[in-house]
A = this chain, B = another copy of it.
Amino acid sequence: MEQRQLSPRGSGRPGLPGLLRLLLLLLLAHTPRALVQPGPALWPLPLSVQDFKRQLHLAPKEFSIDHGPNSTAGPSCSLLQEAFRRYHDYIFGPYKQQRRPTKFKTGAQLNQLLVSVVLESECNAFPSVTSDESYSLLVQEPVAVLKANRVWGVLRGKFYTVSLLISSKGTYSFTINESSIVDSPRFPYRGILIDTSRHYLSVKTILKTLDAMAFNKFNVLHWHIVDDQSFPYQSTTFPQLSNKGSYSPSHVYTPNDVHMVIEYARLRGIRIIPEFDSPGHTESWGKGQKNLLTACYSPEQRIQGVGPINPTLNTTYAFLTSIFTEVSKVFPDQFIHLGGDEVNFECWASNPKIQNFMKKKGFGEDYTKLQSFYMLKLMNIIASLNKVPIVWQEVFDNKAQLIPGTVIQVWKDVNYFEELRLITAAGFPVILSAPWYLDWISYGQDWRKYYTVEPLNFSGTEKQKKLILGGEACLWGEYVDATNLTPRLWPRASAVGERLWSRGDIRDLGDAYARLTRHRCRMVKRGIEAEPLFTGYC
């Protein structure tokens, strides 16, 4: 799985204006390596870091985070106000309760962090795949300045001011080095998949995951919300779906729950992309929606259970239009994941009415054509709702007609570079997950395997490579619930986080180990039970 041939890309990603990018590249070319990877355990590593090696002191009671005088986002921007409070807590929180007053060394001091949003703030907007996450941070006595085009850059930048803080000798003294950071992500799509069908995850667990994602600069939660095993999404249009299809009445996500997750995520610059996987993986749908699933037949022509959604009925598409109309309103993100993976063709093939339909349509015995027929109709519904569909790679592999702009998610581990080549050659954007199935656990430091993946290491033009939107670490839920989700996800997913955020040539495993070890301790201190990389202590 480890990719040895590197294909560094520098900053050739959306989010940073061309001139600034050029400037940075020139800067980086003259920056010794030691300055690029300084003492503080930055994770993921920013595009550029300069450490001026001059220490400033901070006093918790005197230090404040404020809006810059020319910022387009003032105190009315609750997204930033929330973030100010949160990060002040992260920096000084554990020490507030100490009885002893903060000892304060004389010398150079940092009193304030000024936050300036330069363009329209997007304070009340939702993040998207084109959101500008770039920012710059200049720490100099007595005021640090964080600049960003949009609030999203502020959110990404603020974690660094925190990370740079070192509580030197003892717990009552806070210092920060004078320094300059210019940063923007390499890939605009950096996701985590959670699966709330195989096991229900409480809202609390999901919110904690969003916190941990923010600490690692992930910006998409792919919420695989329903599947064969259970249908916890409470639909207002079809309440029977969760009434009958959830594990129990308490294992559901009410509209309020969903709204809370979306807003909590927005405040951290994270998108929520729901997946309603079909036509396979829908056993739980059938419990609350009659005549939706295909009846499977035994060789003796007796009905024997149910299979995928029945793609031959008009009622199916009427239902899909209704449910996806609701879903597209509930979830504000532009993307909706439609699934389309692992369809059981045997059941379709066993059903006489479906055989008939195949004949009528001239599909022969090729059930991929039937799936493509279904997916195209579904994608058209989604397009009419002004949403962009994401589908698993089978939909592309089956040579379905696809709406331009459809995003393909690559998950099969075999030959995934060839798959990336084919999809991008056909002009479709891609999310890569194949090397990052984190539910597949093994002994030892598998984060190294995830870290050394180079997503652009396939043969293709520059234009093709720009179609790689990013990637996703998938934590499928067969063996995962609230008891083990956090230590199984972190810091293994952090390795994916840096791969998707930082420059392609940042791949020194020794340096990554040193930084990630400290980063995981930082997560543990903030209440995220990230497991250890190896022997040692925090």
Contact surface of A with B, Cβ cutoff 8 Å: 198-200, 229-230, 247-248, 251, 439-444, 477-484, 486-488, 524, 529-537
Contacts and interface: CB of A to CB of B under 8 A. Distances in A.
Contacts of A530: 483
Contact of A532 (B199, B441, B524): B199
A484 B529 contact: yes
A444 B482 CA distance: 17
Nearest to A442: B442
28 contacts: A198-B535, A199-B535, A200-B537, A229-B535, A229-B536, A230-B537, A247-B536, A248-B537, A251-B537, A440-B443, A442-B443, A444-B479, A477-B535, A478-B534, A478-B535, A479-B531, A479-B533, A479-B534, A481-B531, A483-B486, A483-B529, A483-B530, A483-B531, A484-B484, A484-B487, A484-B531, A484-B532, A487-B487
Q: Which 3 A-B pairs have the closest CB atoms?
A: A484-B487, A483-B529, A247-B537
A233 to B, nearest CB: 15
A488 B479 CA distance: 12
Contacts of A251: 537
Contacts of A481: 531-532
Contacts of A439: 443
Contact of A537 (B199, B484, B524): B199
Q: How many copies of this kind of chain does the complex include? A: 2
Nearest to A200: B537
Given A199-B535, A441-B442, A535-B199, A487 B483 contact: yes
Given A199-B532, A199-B535, A229-B536, 18 more contacts: A199-B536, A199-B537, A200-B537, A247-B536, A251-B537, A440-B443, A441-B441, A441-B442, A442-B443, A478-B534, A478-B535, A479-B532, A479-B533, A479-B534, A482-B529, A483-B531, A484-B529, A484-B532
A150 B159 CA distance: 59
A4 to B, nearest CB: 25
A251 B537 CA distance: 9
Q: Which of A248, A440, A442, A529 has the most CB of B within 10 A?
A: A529
A322 to B, nearest CB: 28
A330 to B, nearest CB: 24
Contacts of A199: 532, 535-537
A230 to B, nearest CB: 8
Contacts of A487: 483-484, 487
A536 B480 CA distance: 10
Contacts of A442: 441-443
Given A248-B537, A535-B199, A524 B483 contact: yes
Contacts of A478: 534-535
Nearest to A437: B443
A480 B532 contact: yes
A318 B477 CA distance: 56
Nearest to A439: B443
Contacts of A533: 479
A179 to B, nearest CB: 28
Contacts of A484: 484, 487-488, 529, 531-532
Nearest to A232: B537
Nearest to A251: B537
Contacts of A248: 537
A532 B443 contact: no
Given A441-B442, A442-B443, A532 B483 contact: yes
A102 to B, nearest CB: 21
A199 B537 CA distance: 6
Contacts of A247: 536-537
Contacts of A443: 439-442, 479
Contacts of A486: 483
A251 B444 CA distance: 24
A142 to B, nearest CB: 34
Contacts of A480: 531-532
Contacts of A529: 482-484
A113 B491 CA distance: 48
Nearest to A533: B479
A376 B536 CA distance: 33
A537 B246 CA distance: 10
A524 B229 CA distance: 21
Nearest to A482: B529
Contacts of A483: 486-487, 524, 529-532
A10 B536 CA distance: 45
Contacts of A535: 198-199, 229, 477-478
Nearest to A195: B535
A205 to B, nearest CB: 12
Best-buried of A248, A444, A531, A535 by chain B (most CB within 10 Å): A535
